[in-house]
Amino acid sequence: MLGAIEAGGTKFVCAIGDEKGNIVERVQFPTTVPEETMVKVIEFFRQYSLDAIGIGSFGPIDVNQESPTYGYITTTPKAGWRNYPFVQTLKDAFDIPIGFTTDVNGAALGEVTLGAAKGLDSCLYITVGTGIGAGAIVRGQILEGLSHPEMGHILVRRHPNDHYQGKCPYHHDCLEGLAAGPAIEERWGDKGINLVNRAEVWDIEGYYLAQALMQYILILSPKKIILGGGVMKQRQVFTAIYKYLPELIQNYLSLPDLTEYIVSPGLADDAGITGALILAHQAFEEKN
């Protein structure tokens, strides 16, 4: 039996299941402070006899297993979680293998194993919501190096009609600063769900995301691109991406049919928790 945690800045989802994505029990808690949230997480898992736990966490996190702060949430602005020893806290409670990666890496793992990229050895999973993050699978492995990818903070060219300063506290007008949910709300003075019929909102959104996808395609050459998160529930964003991406690429590359290449998650909102189950299974296999 495997445990899974999808740790987000707003909520924690915890589940019990198997490496095939079958979930037998699931709960969620608000992400408050570790002293509250982690107590609930540990109490939930203590009801079961677990072989391993997989964690897909909001970040930034330390994924370098040689680092003294491996398993930590590091420079997050989330109150109470900065420099928090996430993995060690669970190891102190459960003497079992623990897999640890970012929430978007976990979602990418779920999608390449059981979702929209099943059968492929590479994919890119991008979430566009409260923030923008991306995880990549390359040759069947989660892409990590010096750290984990932070693709939401690349720089993009401004739309000619966009004079919004940007929301990112670090870079102002990076991709996340211009295209994440809070940026949409601040720029237009309303939540995205109330702007459905404002074509210019989603045209600008697609313009920025298409620029980002061009860069990811040129650098990583993923075999499938999966776009999730609350903003991407507005299907008109896909339409704008399909329009702008060929204009940007300019036939430099031969792209597949974009409606089949750039898609919604096959696992819907379960990509992250499914990936965490798979990560738990991998951690168990590595220890045995």
Amino acid at 124: L
Domain boundaries, the chain: 2-103+269-287, 116-264
Give the whole-angstrom CA distance, residue 51 versus residue 3.
8
Amino acid at 55: I
Is residue 146 over pLDDT 90? Answer: no
Burial zone of 257 (CB within 10 Å; 0-12 exposed, 13-18 middle, 19+ buried): exposed
CATH of domain 2-103+269-287: 3.30.420.40
Rounded to 10 deg, the angle between the 236-249 and 199-220 helix axes is: 50
Residue 222: its pLDDT value, please? 98
Local confidence band at 113 (pLDDT 50, 70, 90 cut-offs)? very high
Residue 118: its pLDDT value, please? 98
Local confidence band at 266 (pLDDT 50, 70, 90 cut-offs)? very high
User: What mean pLDDT comes out for the span 138-159?
Assistant: 93
In percent, the amount of the chain with pLDDT more than 70 equals 100
Contact between residue 262 and residue 255 where contact means Cβ atoms under 8 Å apart: no
Is residue 288 over pLDDT 90? Answer: no
Higher model confidence: residue 287 or residue 209?
209
pLDDT per residue over 189-233, tens digit each? 999 999 999 999 999 999 999 999 999 999 999 999 999 999 999
Contact between residue 111 and residue 265 where contact means Cβ atoms under 8 Å apart: yes
User: What mean pLDDT comes out for the span 147-167?
Assistant: 94
Token pair for 42: 């540990």
Same fold, 2-103+269-287 and 116-264: yes
Contact between residue 123 and residue 222 where contact means Cβ atoms under 8 Å apart: yes
Local confidence band at 175 (pLDDT 50, 70, 90 cut-offs)? very high
Is residue 9 over pLDDT 90? Answer: no
pLDDT per residue over 78-96, tens digit each? 889 999 999 999 999 999 9
Residue with tokens 């736990």: 53
Give the whole-angstrom CA distance, residue 17 versus residue 36.
24
pLDDT per residue over 41-75, tens digit each? 999 999 999 999 999 999 899 999 999 999 999 98
**Torsion angle of the four alpha carbons 101, 258, 121, 153, in this order, in degrees rounded to the nearest 10:** -30
Given this structure, which CATH class describes domain 116-264? alpha beta
Q: Long-range contacts for 18-23 (Cβ within 8 Å, ≥24 apart)? A: 18/277, 18/281, 19/277, 19/278, 19/280, 19/281, 20/114, 21/110, 21/113, 21/114, 21/267, 21/270, 21/274, 21/277, 21/278, 23/270, 23/273, 23/274, 23/277
Is residue 136 over pLDDT 90? Answer: yes
Residue 224: its pLDDT value, please? 98
pLDDT per residue over 227-251, tens digit each? 999 999 999 999 999 999 999 999 9
Residue 42: its pLDDT value, please? 98
Number of H helices, E strands in the chain: 9, 12
User: What mean pLDDT comes out for the span 165-190?
Assistant: 96
Residue 145: its pLDDT value, please? 82
Contact between residue 110 and residue 278 where contact means Cβ atoms under 8 Å apart: yes
Residue 144 to residues 118, 134, 139, 243, Cα–Cα distance (Å): 21, 12, 12, 31
Q: Model pTM? A: 0.95
Average pLDDT, the chain: 96
Amino acid at 228: G
